């Protein structure tokens, strides 16, 4: 169960974490439920903002998902408490959304590189 996006890149929004309008965060213009995302300063600034917000947690999320095929909030909180003893549900709610958006942004970057394009288009289920 979940909502998908397709077009120049394809994927599935993280269930219960990401809304269908994530492309607007990266400067995507909504045309009904289709988005165009440009590899411009807005996009790059958004990626830098996410990287700054998450810091070394990006590597921790990467490590976690290399070990596990899925997650529960409890398992992730326990994992992060090893480095951040006061890590809690509020922290996770914010961080997991940032990480999901980071993964989406990286998927966009891969498309830009692979196709030597400065923009992409996607359609998102609502």
Q: What is the mean pLDDT of residues 65-79?
A: 95
For the cut 70, the answer to whether the pLDDT of residue 2 exceeds it is no
Residues facing residue 120 across a β-bridge:
37
Task: List pLDDT tens digits, range 4-53.
Answer: 888 889 998 888 888 878 888 888 876 557 889 999 999 999 999 999 99
CA 124 to chain centre: 14
pLDDT tens figures, 76-85: 999 999 999 9
What is the rounded CA–CA span in Å between residue 38 and residue 112? Answer: 9
Average pLDDT over the chain, rounded to an integer = 91
Residue 20: both structure tokens together: 């269908």
pTM: 0.77
Structure tokens at 37: 């995302």
Phi, psi of 115 (to 5 degrees): -105, 0
């Amino acid at each position: 169960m979940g909502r998908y996006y397709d077009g120049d890149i394809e994927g599935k929004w993280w269930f219960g974490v990401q809304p269908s309008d994530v492309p607007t965060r990266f400067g995507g213009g909504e045309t009904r439920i289709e988005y165009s995302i440009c590899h411009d300063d807005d996009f790059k600034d958004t990626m830098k903002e996410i990287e700054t917000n998450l810091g070394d947690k990006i590597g921790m999320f990467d490590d976690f998902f290399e070990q596990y095929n899925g997650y529960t909030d409890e398992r992730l909180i326990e994992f992060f408490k090893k480095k951040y003893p006061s890590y809690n549900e509020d922290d996770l709610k914010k961080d997991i959304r940032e990480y999901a958006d980071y993964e989406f942004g990286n998927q966009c970057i891969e498309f830009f590189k692979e196709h030597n394009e400065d923009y992409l288009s996607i359609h998102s289920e609502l």
